[in-house]
C-alpha cells in the first residue's frame, strides 16, 4: 500500500498515461550514451575504485569491495592442512551448483568422466534460480546468429572477446533444444513455436521464457537430472582454496563443511569453477538482487592460483530494482515488465528514456532523474522512478500481468501493491558481474586444468551483458567446459600432486604489499548480524585475527 | 547524490526503525527486534547467521520455509522467511530440509500416458483430499488440485497448476498420505515439456542451418571487424533494424 505522498505522484503519472501510450521515445545516439554513462553510471565514480596491488591483474582498477577480497589473506593456515588425507578422488571436480555447474557436471559425466559437484548451499540455491526474464537464442526465421552476435557486441560496447561471443551465439539454438528435450516448459504456441519477446538491446524478439520462472524452471529440471543420472554431489561445503601441483596446474580443492567446520580435500584431474557472481559484496553500498552465496569466492580462489581476470572494473546495475516497499528493496523487477510494455516515468509524469536501451544506459538515466530532483521520494527518503505496469493490461489485455508475471505479481501483492492496477517504484540495484576469470572457448582459464563457466567467467559479454545472455552463457560454457574438462582429464594419466605452494607465494606478495592481516577471504557468506556479533564464523573455528573479543 | 546507498554493514540497520520493537520467538527463545522486518532479516538482527534455511533471499528457491504460530492461536501458519513480515509474538521454526522420496527416470524414455505419474509415484493414490497441502503452500498453489489431476493422469493440468512451485517442501511435511507433491509435479512438467508439447519447428530449421554451416560465414565476418566498423553496423538502421513490438 502506498502512502498518500506517493499516491499524489501516481496521480501525476496516471494523468499522462493516455498520451504516453501513443508516444514513441527515441533511442539515444552513441554520443548521448557515452555522456550519460560518464556522468551517472556508478562504474565511473573514481573514488569507488582502486588499483590492485598484487596478483595477475596488478595495477588494474577494480571496485574497492572486490579489491578487498582479492587482496586478502587466506581463511586458514595452509600449513595446517594434511595433504595426504584425500577424501574424494575424481576426474572432474565442479565447484558451484547453479546452472553452469549443473550443466558442466551433466556433460562431463556423459563424456565418461567420474565427476563430483560440490556446492556451498543446496544445489540450485544460486542466481540461476532467480532469473525470471528469459534466455536468448536466435532461432526464429527473421533472426540469425550473426544478428545475435552484433547485439551482444553492441551491448558489450564492442569490447567482447570475439571467439567467446561467437561460441555463445552459435551454440545458443543447441542449448534451447537440449533444454526442450530435458522437458523445460518454454512458453509456446500450440504448434510448438516459441513465444519470444524483446529484451534490452535485442534487435529481434529472441527472449525465450518460462512464464517469469525461467531460471527456476531450468534449474529445477537440471537438478532433477543430476539426481536421475546419479551425479555425486556434496552440499553445504564451500571451496576455500584450490590445490595445485606447485607448478601452476590445478589439481583439486580444499573445502570446509559449513555445518561441522571440518576441512576436507578433493583431488581432481581437472577443476571447473562455477561459483557465480559477487552481488553480496554490495559494491558501493548498493543493495543487490543476488542469492545469499554470491560472494566472489571463485574469483578469489582462481586469482590466488594465478588466473587472470578481465573487465573487473565493470559491474552491472539492474535498472529496475525494488525501491519500495522497504522490506524487499534491491530485489529485481524483471526486464520482462518493460519488454511487455511498461514504461519508466518520473515524478512529473514524464518518460525520460527508451525502456529497452541496454541496462547501463537505462540505469544511468534513472540515476540522473533522481539526482536531478525528478525522482519519487519514499517515506524513508529513498528515491526512485515509476514503472507503469498497469500499461501492460491496456496493451496486452486484462489479466496479462498475472498471467505473464506471476512471480512479480505475488512479490508485490504480499505488501498490498497490485501491479496490474498500480505502478511499482524502482531504482538500480547491483545485479551482475560483467567480467570475471578470462576463459577461452573451452572455458579454460589461464591456469592449467582450471576451467571456469558462468558468471564467474569473463570476456563473453564485454563491458555489459544483455538480459537473457547469461542464462545462455552458463549453459553454453557449462557444457563446453564440462566436455573439455572431461577430455583433458582422460588425457591426464599421472596421479595429480597436491600442494598449496601458490598460496604461500601469494601470501608473500600480500606481505610485501602490506595488506592488513585482518583482511580475509573468501567471504563464503555475508554477515548481516549486528556489528557486535559479526566475524564469528563458527564453521571456520576460532581465528584470533578476525574473531571479535567475547563481551 | 540523493540516494545514499547503504553500506553493506548497514543492510539491516537502514531498513528498520529501532524505536518500535516487537517480540519474536526463534525456536522458543525470545528476541526483541524492530518491527517491519522480514522473518529472515529479523533472525539476522537477533544474531543468527544462516547456513541452512536461506538461499535466494527473493522468494524463488524454497530454502526458507517457516512454520509459525502466534500467541493464543491454535492455527499453524507458514511463510517464506525471506518474504514474510514479522508480527508480535510470533513463534518461529524453520523447515529448511524435509526428507523426500524422488523417483528416478530417463525422460527420453518416458511415455506420456495417464499411468506414468501413478507408476512412478503410486502413493498419490492414497491422497485423502484433506487439503492440508493447499492450505500450507506459501505460493498459494492448489496443491490438492494438482495431486488430483496427477491421479487422473492429466499431466498438463498438473503442470499448469504447479508451475509456480518453488519446491519448499512444506506440503510434503503436512501430508498424512506421505506424498511428495512437488516431485510428482516436477515429473509432470517434464513430461509436458519433453513429450506432450510439440517441439519448436523453427528451432529444428536453425539447427539444420548450423549443421550445414550456412550461418557461419556471416558470424565469421563479424568476428573479424574492429570496434569502429562494428559500431557503424550496429547503429545503421538498415543493417540492424529493430523488430517492431
Ligand atoms: C534476480 C536475478 C535475475 C536474473 N535474470 C536473468 C534473466 O532473466 N536472464 C538471464 O540470462 N540472466 C539473468 N540473471 C543472471 C543469471 O541468472 C546468472 O548470471 C546466472 O544464472 C549465473 O549462473 P552460475 O551458474 O554462473 O552461478 P549461480 O547460479 O549463482 O551458481 C553459483 C553456485 O556456486 C555456489 N558457490 C559459490 N561460492 C562457492 C564456494 N566457495 N564453494 C562452493 N560453491 C560455491 C553458489 O552457492 C551457487 O550455488 C539474473 C540474475 C539474478 C540474480
Ligand atoms: S506446492 Fe509444496 S513444495 Fe511447491 S511451493 Fe507449494 S508447498 Fe512448497
Ligand atoms: S496433504 Fe496429502 S492427502 Fe491431503 S490433500 Fe494434500 S496430497 Fe492429499
Ligand atoms: S531464501 Fe529462497 S525462497 Fe526464501
A224 in contact with chain B, both atoms CB, cutoff 8 A = yes
Helix and strand counts by DSSP (H, E) for chain A: 17, 20
Show the cell assigned to B29: 527463545
- 8 Å CB contact of B205 and A181: no
SS3 A240: strand
Check residue B138 and report its DSSP letter.
Answer: T
Assign A537 a pLDDT band (cuts: 50, 70, 90): low
Q: Give the one of B49, B167, B197 whose C-beta lies nearest to A188's C-beta.
A: B197
Q: Which atom of ligand 2 is nearest to the CA of B170?
A: 7
Q: How far is A507 from chain B (nearest CA, A)?
A: 27
- 8 Å CB contact of A166 and B223: yes
Asked if A105 contacts A221 with a C-beta cutoff of 8 angstroms, the reply is: no
- Output the CA torsion A174→A480→A438→A457 (10° steps): 70
In chain A, which residue's Cα lies nearest the Cα of B194? Answer: A183
Distance between Cα A210 and ligand 3 center (Å): 27
Show the cell assigned to A504: 604461500
Show the cell assigned to A412: 508485490
Q: Which atom of ligand 1 is nearest to the CA of A134?
A: 8
Asked if A396 contacts A340 with a C-beta cutoff of 8 angstroms, the reply is: yes
A167 in contact with chain B, both atoms CB, cutoff 8 A = no
CB-based contacts of B238: which residues, under 8 Å, 6+ apart? none
- Return the pLDDT at A548: 35
Which chain A positions have a beta carbon within 8 Å of B239's beta carbon? Answer: 150
Beta bridge partners of A61: A51
Which chain B positions have a beta carbon within 8 Å of A28's beta carbon? Answer: none
Q: Compute φ and ψ for A264, nearest 5 degrees.
A: -145, 165
Along the 245 residues of chain B, how does pLDDT read in single tens digits?
334 433 333 333 444 556 689 999 999 999 999 888 899 999 999 989 999 999 999 999 999 999 999 998 999 999 999 989 899 999 999 998 889 999 999 999 999 999 999 999 999 999 999 999 999 999 999 999 999 999 999 999 999 999 999 999 999 999 999 999 999 999 999 999 999 999 999 999 999 999 999 999 999 999 999 999 999 999 999 999 999 97
Asked if B16 contacts A327 with a C-beta cutoff of 8 angstroms, the reply is: no
Show the cell assigned to A39: 556522468
Percent of chain A with pLDDT over 90: 85
- A242-291 confidence digits (pLDDT tens): 999 999 999 999 999 999 889 999 999 999 999 999 999 999 989 999 99
Residue A522: cis peptide before it, omega within 30 degrees of 0:
yes
- 8 Å CB contact of A285 and B51: no
Rounded distance, CA A45 to CA A42, Å?
6
Residue A430 Cβ < 6 Å to ligand 1: no
Which chain B positions have a beta carbon within 8 Å of A163's beta carbon? Answer: 223
- Return the pLDDT at B1: 38
Residue A325: cis peptide before it, omega within 30 degrees of 0:
yes
Ligand number with the minimum distance to the CA of A75 = 1
User: Closest Cα to residue A99, out of A163, A179, A188, A195?
Assistant: A179
Assign A535 a pLDDT band (cuts: 50, 70, 90): low
| CA A498 and chain centroid, separation | 31
Check residue A355 and report its DSSP letter.
Answer: T
Using CA of residue A4, residue A8, residue A13, residue A16, what is the dihedral sign?
A: positive
- 8 Å CB contact of A411 and B83: yes
Q: Whose C-alpha lies nearest to ligand 1, atom 48?
A: A126
- 8 Å CB contact of A130 and B60: yes
Q: How far is A170 from chain B (nearest CA, A)?
A: 8
Q: Kindly tell me if the per-residue pLDDT of A310 is higher than 60.
A: yes
Ligand number with the minimum distance to the CA of B179 = 3
Which chain B positions have a beta carbon within 8 Å of A287's beta carbon? Answer: 5-6, 11
Rounded distance, CA B17 to CA B125, Å?
51
Angle at the Cα of B163 from the Cα atoms of B143 and A318, rounded to 5 degrees: 130
- 8 Å CB contact of B230 and A153: yes
Mean pLDDT of A154-173: 97
Residue B50 Cβ < 6 Å to ligand 4: no
- Return the pLDDT at B17: 59
Asked if B176 contacts B147 with a C-beta cutoff of 8 angstroms, the reply is: no
Q: Give the one of A184, A293, A328 whose C-beta lies nearest to B193's C-beta.
A: A184
Show the cell assigned to B117: 505419474
SS3 B125: helix
- Return the pLDDT at A396: 93
Question: Is A318 marked active-site?
Answer: yes
Asked if A69 contacts A523 with a C-beta cutoff of 8 angstroms, the reply is: yes
User: Closest Cα to residue A157, out of A467, A465, A463?
Assistant: A463
Q: Compute φ and ψ for B151, nearest 5 degrees.
A: -65, -40
In chain A, which residue's Cα lies nearest the Cα of B203? Answer: A139
- 8 Å CB contact of B221 and A163: no
- 3-state SS record for A98-124: CHHHHHHHHHHHHCCCCEEEECCCCCC
Show the cell assigned to A164: 567467446
- Return the pLDDT at B245: 79
Beta bridge partners of B34: B21
Rounded distance, CA A439 to CA A449, Å?
12
Interface of A with B in 49-108 (CB under 8 A): 65
Asked if A302 contacts A533 with a C-beta cutoff of 8 angstroms, the reply is: no
Residue B153 Cβ < 6 Å to ligand 4: no
Q: How far is A77 from chain B (nearest CA, A)?
A: 23
- Return the pLDDT at A60: 97
- 8 Å CB contact of A150 and B233: yes
- A184-220 confidence digits (pLDDT tens): 999 999 999 999 999 889 999 999 999 989 999 999 9
Distance between Cα A410 and ligand 3 center (Å): 24
- Please return the burial class of B123, using the count of CB atoms within 10 Å of its CB with bins 0-12, 13-18 and 19+: middle
Question: What is A125-164 written as a DSSP string?
Answer: -SHHHH--S-EE---STT--HHHHHHHHHHHTTT-S-HHH
Check residue A47 and report its DSSP letter.
Answer: G
Q: Give the one of A183, A211, A371 whose C-beta lies nearest to B191's C-beta.
A: A183
Which chain A positions have a beta carbon within 8 Å of B15's beta carbon? Answer: 326-327, 329, 380
Check residue B196 and report its DSSP letter.
Answer: I
Question: Is A536 marked active-site?
Answer: no
Instruction: Give alpha helix (H) positions in A335-399.
Output: 336-339, 359-371, 390-396
Rounded distance, CA B107 to CA B111, Å?
9
Specify the pTM. Answer: 0.94
- Of the two residues A285 and A10, the one the predictor is more confident about is A10
Q: Kindly tell me if the per-residue pLDDT of A221 is higher than 90.
A: yes
Residue located via cell numbers 511428495: B180
Angstrom distances, CA of residue B103 to CA of A177, A348, B180? 25, 57, 10
Ligand number with the minimum distance to the CA of B66 = 4
Rg (CA), chain A: 23
Rounded distance, CA A318 to CA A279, Å?
11
Q: Give the one of B8, B190, B195 whose C-beta lies nearest to A221's C-beta.
A: B190
Q: How many CB atoms lie within 10 A of CB A7?
A: 11
SS3 A172: helix
Distance between Cα A176 and ligand 2 center (Å): 27
- A434-476 confidence digits (pLDDT tens): 999 999 999 999 999 999 999 999 999 999 999 999 999 999 9
Q: Which atom of ligand 1 is nearest to the CA of A96?
A: 34
Rounded distance, CA A222 to CA B100, Å?
18
Rounded distance, CA A52 to CA A71, Å?
7
Q: Which residue out of A318, A461, A463, A465 is catalytically annotated?
A: A318
Report the DSSP pairing between strands B21-26 and B90-94. parallel
- Return the pLDDT at B14: 45
Residue located via cell numbers 553496423: B233
- A24-71 confidence digits (pLDDT tens): 899 899 899 999 999 999 999 889 999 999 999 999 999 999 999 999
Check residue A548 and report its DSSP letter.
Answer: P
In chain A, which residue's Cα lies nearest the Cα of B12? Answer: A528
- Return the pLDDT at A532: 67
Ligand number with the minimum distance to the CA of B121 = 3
Asked if B182 contacts B171 with a C-beta cutoff of 8 angstroms, the reply is: yes
Show the cell assigned to B85: 513480515
Question: What is B144-161 written as a DSSP string?
Answer: HHHHHHHHHT-HHHHHHH
Extract the runs of DSSP E, i.e. beta strands, from A308-461.
309-310, 315-322, 343-345, 376-377, 383-388, 424-433, 436-438, 450-452, 457-458
User: Closest Cα to residue A102, out of A372, A478, A383, A503?
Assistant: A478
Q: Which residue out of A208, A233, A304, A338 is catalytically annotated?
A: A338
| CA B89 and chain centroid, separation | 28
Amino acid at each position: 500500500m502506498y502512502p498518500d505522498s506517493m499516491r499524489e505522484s501516481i496521480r501525476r503519472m496516471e494523468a499522462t498515461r493516455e498520451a504516453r501510450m501513443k508516444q514513441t521515445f527515441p533511442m539515444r545516439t552513441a554520443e548521448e550514451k557515452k555522456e550519460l554513462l560518464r556522468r551517472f553510471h556508478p562504474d565511473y565514480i573514481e573514488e569507488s575504485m582502486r588499483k590492485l596491488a598484487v596478483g595477475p591483474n596488478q595495477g588494474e582498477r577494480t571496485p574497492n569491495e572486490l579489491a578487498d577480497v582479492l587482496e586478502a589473506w587466506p581463511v586458514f593456515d595452509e600449513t595446517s592442512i594434511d595433504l595426504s588425507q584425500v577424501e574424494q578422488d575424481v576426474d572432474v571436480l565442479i565447484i558451484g551448483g547453479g546452472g553452469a555447474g549443473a550443466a558442466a557436471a551433466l556433460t562431463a559425466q556423459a563424456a565418461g568422466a567420474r565427476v563430483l559437484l560440490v556446492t556451498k548451499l543446496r544445489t540450485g540455491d544460486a542466481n540461476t534460480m532467480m532469473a525470471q526474464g528469459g534466455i536468448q537464442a536466435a532461432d526464429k526465421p527473421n533472426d540469425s546468429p550473426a544478428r545475435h552476435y552484433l547485439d551482444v557486441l553492441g551491448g558489450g560496447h564492442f569490447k567482447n572477446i570475439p571467439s567467446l561471443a561467437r561460441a555463445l551465439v552459435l551454440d545458443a539454438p543447441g542449448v534451447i533444444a537440449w533444454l526442450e528435450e530435458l522437458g523445460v516448459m518454454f512458453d509456446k504456441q500450440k504448434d510448438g513455436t516459441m513465444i519470444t519477446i524483446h529484451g534490452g538491446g535485442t534487435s529481434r524478439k529472441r527472449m525465450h521464457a518460462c512464464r517469469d520462472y525461467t531460471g527456476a524452471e531450468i534449474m529445477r529440471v537440471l537438478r532433477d537430472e543430476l539426481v536421475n543420472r546419479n551425479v555425486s554431489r556434496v552440499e553445504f561445503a564451500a571451496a576455500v582454496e584450490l590445490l595445485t601441483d606447485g607448478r601452476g596446474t590445478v589439481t583439486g580443492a580444499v573445502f570446509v563443511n559449513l555445518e561441522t567446520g571440518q576441512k576436507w580435500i578433493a583431488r581432481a584431474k581437472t577443476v571447473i569453477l562455477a561459483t557465480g557472481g559477487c552481488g553480496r559484496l554490495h559494491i558501493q553500498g548498493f543493495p543487490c538482487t543476488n542469492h545469499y552465496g554470491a560472494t566472489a569466492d571463485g574469483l578469489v580462489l582462481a586469482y590466488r592460483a594465478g588466473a587472470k581476470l578481465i573487465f573487473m572494473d565493470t559491474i552491472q546495475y539492474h535498472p529496475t530494482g525494488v525501491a519500495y516497499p522497504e522490506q524487499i528493496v534491491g530485489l529485481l523487477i524483471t526486464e520482462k515488465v518493460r519488454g511487455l510494455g511498461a514504461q519508466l516515468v518520473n515524478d512529473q509524469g514524464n518518460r525520460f528514456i527508451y525502456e529497452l536501451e541496454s541496462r547501463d544506459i537505462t540505469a544511468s538515466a534513472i540515476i540522473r532523474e533522481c539526482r536531478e530532483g525528478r525522482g519519487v521520494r519514499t517515506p524513508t527518503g529513498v528515491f526512485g522512478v515509476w514503472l507503469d505496469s498497469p500499461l501492460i493490461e491496456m496493451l496486452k489485455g486484462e489479466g496479462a500481468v498475472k498471467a505473464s508475471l506471476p512471480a512479480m505479481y505475488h512479490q508485490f501483492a504480499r505488501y498490498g501493491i497490485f501491479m496490474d492496477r498500480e505502478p511499482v517504484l524502482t531504482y538500480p540495484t547491483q545485479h551482475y558481474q560483467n567480467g570475471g576469470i578470462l576463459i577461452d572457448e573451452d572455458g579454460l582459464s589461464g591456469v592449467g586444468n582450471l576451467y571456469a563457466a558462468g558468471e564467474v567467467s569473463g570476456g563473453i559479454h564485454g563491458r555489459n551483458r544483455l538480459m537473457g545472455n547469461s542464462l545462455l552463457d552458463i549453459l553454453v560454457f557449462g557444457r563446453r567446459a564440462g566436455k573439455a574438462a572431461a577430455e583433458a582429464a582422460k588425457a591426464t594419466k599421472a596421479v595429480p600432486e597436491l600442494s598449496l605452494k601458490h598460496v604461500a607465494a601469494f601470501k608473500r606478495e600480500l606481505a610485501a604489499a602490506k595488506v592488513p592481516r585482518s583482511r580475509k577471504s573468501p567471504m563464503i557468506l555475508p554477515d548481516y548480524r549486528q556489528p557486535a556479533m559479526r566475524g564469528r564464523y563458527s564453521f571456520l573455528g576460532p581465528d584470533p585475527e578476525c574473531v571479535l573479543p567475547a563481551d | 547524490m540523493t540516494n545514499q546507498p547503504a553500506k553493506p554493514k548497514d543492510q539491516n540497520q537502514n531498513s528498520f526503525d529501532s524505536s518500535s520493537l516487537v517480540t519474536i520467538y526463534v525456536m522458543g527463545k525470545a528476541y526483541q527486534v524492530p518491527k517491519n522486518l522480514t522473518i529472515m532479516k529479523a533472525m539476522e538482527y537477533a544474531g543468527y547467521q544462516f547456513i541452512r534455511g536461506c538461499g535466494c533471499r527473493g522468494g524463488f528457491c524454497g530454502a526458507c520455509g517457516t512454520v509459525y504460530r502466534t500467541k493464543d492461536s491454535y492455527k499453524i501458519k507458514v511463510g517464506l522467511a525471506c518474504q514474510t513480515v514479522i508480527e508480535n509474538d510470533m513463534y518461529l521454526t524453520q523447515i529448511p530440509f524435509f526428507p523426500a522420496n524422488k523417483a528416478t527416470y530417463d525422460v527420453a524414455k518416458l511415455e506420456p500416458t495417464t499411468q506414468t505419474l501413478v507408476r512412478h509415484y503410486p502413493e498419490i493414490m492414497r491422497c485423502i483430499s484433506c487439503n492440508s497441502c493447499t492450505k500450507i503452500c506459501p505460493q498459494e498453489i492448489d496443491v490438492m488440485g494438482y495431486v488430483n489431476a496427477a491421479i487422473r493422469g492429466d499431466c498438463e493440468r498438473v503442470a499448469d497448476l504447479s508451475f509456480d512451485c518453488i519446491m519448499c517442501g512444506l506440503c510434503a511435511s503436512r501430508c498424512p498420505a506421505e506424498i511428495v507433491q512437488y516431485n510428482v509435479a516436477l515429473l509432470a512438467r517434464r513430461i509436458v515439456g519433453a513429450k506432450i508439447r510439440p517441439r519448436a519447428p523453427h528451432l529444428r530449421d536453425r539447427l539444420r542451418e548450423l549443421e550445414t554451416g550456412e550461418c557461419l560465414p556471416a558470424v565469421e565476418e563479424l568476428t573479424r571487424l574492429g570496434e569502429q566498423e562494428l559500431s557503424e553496423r550496429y547503429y545503421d538502421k538498415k543493417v540492424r533494424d529493430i523488430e517492431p513490438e
